Amino acid sequence: MKEKVFRCKQCGKCCLTTEYADISKEDIELWKKIGRYDLFTPDMLVEWDYFGSSGWFRNQLSTRCPFLRKKKNEDTYYCKIHKIKPLFCRSFPKDKEHAKNFCGCVGYL
Ligand code: SF4
Ligand code: SF4
């Protein structure tokens, strides 16, 4: 059976569930290219394996990604760096199963 088209409902579950966002070498290269050095300062990254492929966003005050924002007077969320968010985030969800198992994402409903 054909899988339903995915449509993000901006419920925020995926970002609220995860305590980190994996950062790839490609993400860092893109951010450097566009001058967004603020996205990978030592303060922003818990760990960055310079020759490897991963680091994690953190927030000093909570486990929530620092780029997650709640819309004013609405129960929906958005990503402050949506257009340049990490590949890890851009590739979510891979399919319906991934969506359901990761956080109960409602994008296929
Ligand atoms: S859980 Fe799914 S529907 Fe909700 S914000 Fe994330 S991708 Fe969108
Ligand atoms: S970078 Fe954006 S999409 Fe990724 S976890 Fe943070 S708020 Fe969510």
What DSSP designation does 22 have? B
Q: Which ligand gives the minimal distance to the CA of 108?
A: 1
pLDDT tens per residue across span 35-46: 999 887 877 777
Report the b/e string of 6-24 with b at 16+ CB within 10 A: eeeebbbbbbeebeebbbe
Ligand index nearest the alpha carbon of residue 65: 2
| Of 36, 23, 11, residue with least CA distance to 107 | 11
Question: Ligand 1 within 6 A of 16 CB?
Answer: no
CA of 11 to the centre of ligand 1 (A): 5
Q: Could you tell me how many residues make up the chain?
A: 109
pLDDT at 15: 92
Scanning the chain, the segments in alpha helix (DSSP H) are 13-17, 25-33, 87-90, 96-103
pLDDT at 1 over 60: no
Centre of ligand 2 to C-alpha 45, Å, is: 14
Q: If you take atom 2 of ligand 2, which residue's CA is the nearest one?
A: 79
- The pLDDT of residue 11 is 96
Instruction: For residue range 64-73, list pLDDT tens digits in order.
Output: 788 899 999 9
Indicate if ligand 1 lies below 6 Å from the C-beta of 103: yes
CB contact burial 47-69 (16+ within 10 A = b; e otherwise): eeeeeeeebbbbeeeeebbbbbe
